[in-house]
Amino acid sequence: MNVALALLWKDLLCEWRSRDRLVAMIVFSILVVVVFQFAWPAAPKEQTEALAPGVLWVIYLFAALLGLGRTFTLELENDALTALALAPGTRGFIFLGKAAASFVLIAAVQAMTAFVFALFFRLDWLDAAGGLALVVALADVAIVSVGTLFSAMSARSRFREVLLPVLLIPSLIPVLASAVRATAATLGGEALTLAALQPLVVIAGIYAILGFLLFDPVLDE
């Protein structure tokens, strides 16, 4: 567990000093919101509120892809992947540390994106902020779990910028479907039920366990 905490601290500290991933994801998300603002056809507020969850999760997904693609960039640039593989303890804890750092960065970007989106489209999401945060957190566990695993798989590939989305997007279809439904219910003023959250909990748990168990052979490759 100390390895996971050390990697989490190292990644967040390096990101705080360089802000490479964070700034890239924030700028990308805001630019996409601006593009949607100009491309969005004139529509009643009810229609905008109905379409907003799907659009918001499209932005979340591609911003997360941008960040996850750079999960192991620092180790690649400094030829440190071998040293990372030699870290004491179970390699699954390396996965946990990397995934946790990505979770923190992606969640921060998503919170800012939701604020900017609501501001641009004049939507009042304040009352639903708690429910939205819970849905996003559960979905993010699944996204960073499978994203960290696939990022490690594609890290040494010459086509990793293309390979990661090709691997990641199909695996996240059930996550996005469940997240959009739960987000729509939350923003529509409905109380979150166990039935609405259960798919996200199950998928997030499965992806996290698989990532922990499969990271050892993936890192060997």
Domain range for residue 193? 2-220
- Enter the DSSP assignment of 41: P
Q: What tokens were used for 208?
A: 């996290």
Number of domains in the chain: 1
Confidence (pLDDT) at 119? 87
Tokens representing 193?
A: 């039920």
> Which residues are within 8 A (CB) of 89 and not within 5 positions of it... i.e. 6 or more apart?
2, 3
Distances (CA, A) of 110 to 34, 36, 113: 15, 16, 5
Walk along the chain (221 residues) in steps of 10 and give the mean pLDDT of each run: 71 75 88 85 72 88 86 67 64 80 90 88 79 90 89 73 82 90 83 80 90 76 60
Which of 8, 19, 31 lies closest to 93, judged by CA? 8
Whether the model pTM is above 0.75: yes
